[in-house]
């Protein structure tokens, strides 16, 4: 019997009963958080293989991520990925700082879904333009 492991299991059970009645929704949120923030996915406590399982992502967000300005929300996946690639290319060309991002950039953890994600949560509030240029 290891008290620290027992305590972690109790915390995970509490989350599963009180915080996330919809397991599938919680799993989608956790997977999105880990995909955006690769520094968390392998974390020994909050990561995918950590003792909290999918609830580790939410706990990381509550303890650290919210204060750091991280996003705890699903990733928007459009139906037409070919068109999404065009939109992503246009956004990266328009906003080089986004193109260089480890999360939303060309080589980022979200791939071509990065620009839409960035625009939805940040860019539109900065009056960034979304869409393929028709000029």
Residue 135 is assigned to a structural domain of this protein: no
> What is the domain extent for residue 57?
3-68
Number of folded domains that form the chain: 2
Residue 37 is assigned to a structural domain of this protein: yes
Q: Rounded to the nearest 5°, which phi and psi values hold at 72?
A: -120, 85
pLDDT score of 134 = 64
Mean pLDDT by 10 residues, the chain (135 residues): 75 65 88 97 94 93 97 97 97 98 97 98 97 77
- Among 68, 90, 112, give the residue marking a domain's end: 68
* Dihedral angle, C-alpha 126, 70, 34, 123, nearest 10 °: 0
Do both 63 and 7 map to the same domain? Answer: yes
- The residue count of the chain comes to 135
Asked if 38 contacts 105 with a C-beta cutoff of 8 angstroms, the reply is no
pLDDT score of 20 = 52
pLDDT score of 110 = 98
């Amino acid at each position: 019997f290891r008290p620290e492991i027992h305590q972690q299991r109790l915390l995970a059970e509490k989350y599963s009963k009180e915080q996330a009645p919809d397991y599938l929704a919680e799993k989608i949120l956790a997977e999105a958080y880990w995909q955006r923030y690769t520094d968390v996915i392998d974390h020994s406590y909050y990561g995918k293989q950590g003792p909290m399982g999918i609830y580790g992502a939410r706990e990381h967000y509550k303890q650290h991520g919210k204060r750091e300005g991280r996003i705890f929300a699903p990733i928007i996946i459009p139906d037409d990925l070919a068109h999404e690639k065009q939109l992503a290319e246009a956004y990266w060309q328009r906003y080089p700082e986004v193109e260089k991002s480890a999360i939303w950039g060309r080589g980022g953890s979200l791939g071509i879904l990065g620009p839409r994600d960035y625009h939805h949560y940040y860019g539109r509030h900065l009056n960034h333009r979304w869409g393929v240029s028709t000029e």
